[in-house]
Amino acid sequence: MNALRVFAHIVLQHGVLRYSSTTSNLGNSVRNKLKVSSKQLAKPQPIDILNNLCHEERLNRHVLTAHHEGVASHAKRRKSKSCGAAIAGKNIIFVAGLGGIGMDTCRQIVKRGPKNLLIFDRLDKPDYITELQKLNPKTKVAFYSYDVTVPLSKSKELLQEVFEKYETIDLLINGAGIMDDHQIEKTIAVNFTGTVNTTTAIMDFWDYRNDGPGGVIANICSVTAFYPNCQVPVYCASKAAVFSFTVSLALLAPVTGVTAYSINHSITRTTLGQNFNSWLDVGPCITEKLSDTPSQSTAQAAKSFVKAIEANKNGAIWKLEQGKLEEVKWTGFN
Ligand code: NAE
């Protein structure tokens, strides 16, 4: 198995993500078959690396089928649809829009005039919804109670209700997260499975192969996906999993019509790390250590976040650190 021979080494240094591998140039052959244009994916392409981990034959079958079903015409339609702003006039779902990062980002989003902002959260904070609504009366803000750990069928039911009411959704932001390495299964359920399930559920309505219009997904990952804090390895690994999933989504965009990019915050002052436990209690004073580390406010992070949304770049890896937004360059296998 080619996949088993892959030895991927990831380092995030000075904004550069590097992979090294013992594999041959398999990625190029898959990319050629996918006919991924330079416009669809940032160069150099993270997709090449992840292609090595895919089952080539299965992927090719999807691509061939997709071509037979007229992906090209879908792509054209999508291109004409996606011209212009990525927020103004759009229908947006923000999962976990009422947390620290979520709420400040929602404030910035609402100021840019989406048609509808639908906040899915397990938190119920009516005051926050009222505040957002007042910020821009032209945007309709609605709240849906949603726990991302519900079974996939429940996520689909909720989205069915939403699509019946709003007809189109343009952007899905997945942001639910917890950091508590004593709760291993819950961390994976919220941070990873929750994002995968919500994404899977929306595919019923977006996927080109279901004659959907496509869509855009912004997944909140973390710089810890690349640069783990070993005191919370479960949290970091769950974020690395979401990152990997996001790269695959971007790779599949020519087939599904759904583009994706990752949003990777560095330490941002919220309550996320306030009461967390380290794995096996390897680092009992993490909260204090975190407060000594350079960080950013949620307001700073929110401004960077909306810039990334406006850039609307499939496959982009955005780093949001100390008030700055940077697209991490992927140098490919060395
Ligand atoms: P927060 O605790 O304020 O927000 C967490 C959000 O997730 C809340 O809206 C909460 O309701 C929602 N949530 C949790 N469990 C849920 C569930 N079962 N169903 C639905 N929603 C659920 O923390 P935050 O810092 O605003 O975190 C928001 C996202 O940003 C999380 O995914 C987090 O991992 C990510 N993030 C935060 C930071 C940070 O420093 N605050 C960083 C990167 C990514 C840097 C680090 O990784 C340390």
pLDDT tens-digit map of 180-222: 999 999 999 999 999 999 999 999 999 999 999 999 999 999 9
Q: Which amino acid is located at 245 in the chain? A: F
Report d(CA 135, CA 123) in Å as an integer: 20
pLDDT tens-digit map of 124-141: 999 999 999 999 999 999
Distance in Å, CA 302 to ligand 1 centroid:
13
Strand arrangement of the beta sheet that strand 324-327 belongs to: 140-145, 116-121, 91-95, 171-174, 215-220, 258-265, 317-321, 324-327
Distance in Å, CA 287 to ligand 1 centroid:
15
- Residue with the smallest CA separation from ligand 1 atom 46 is 267
pLDDT higher than 90, residue 4:
no
Is 235 one of the annotated active-site residues of the chain?
yes
Angle at Cα 250 formed by Cα 22 and Cα 84, nearest 5°?
Answer: 145
pLDDT higher than 60, residue 308:
yes
| Closest ligand 1 atom number to CA of residue 298 | 26
Residues with beta carbon inside 6 Å of ligand 1? 96, 98-102, 121-123, 146-149, 175-178, 190, 220, 222, 224, 265-268, 270-272
247 in Cβ contact with 203 (< 8 Å): no
**Over residues 239-247, mean pLDDT:** 98
Q: Which residues pair with 118 in a beta bridge?
A: 93, 142
Closest CA to 304 of 223, 225, 239, 210: 223
User: Domains in the chain and their CATH numbers?
Assistant: 2-66 (no CATH), 85-327 (3.40.50.720)
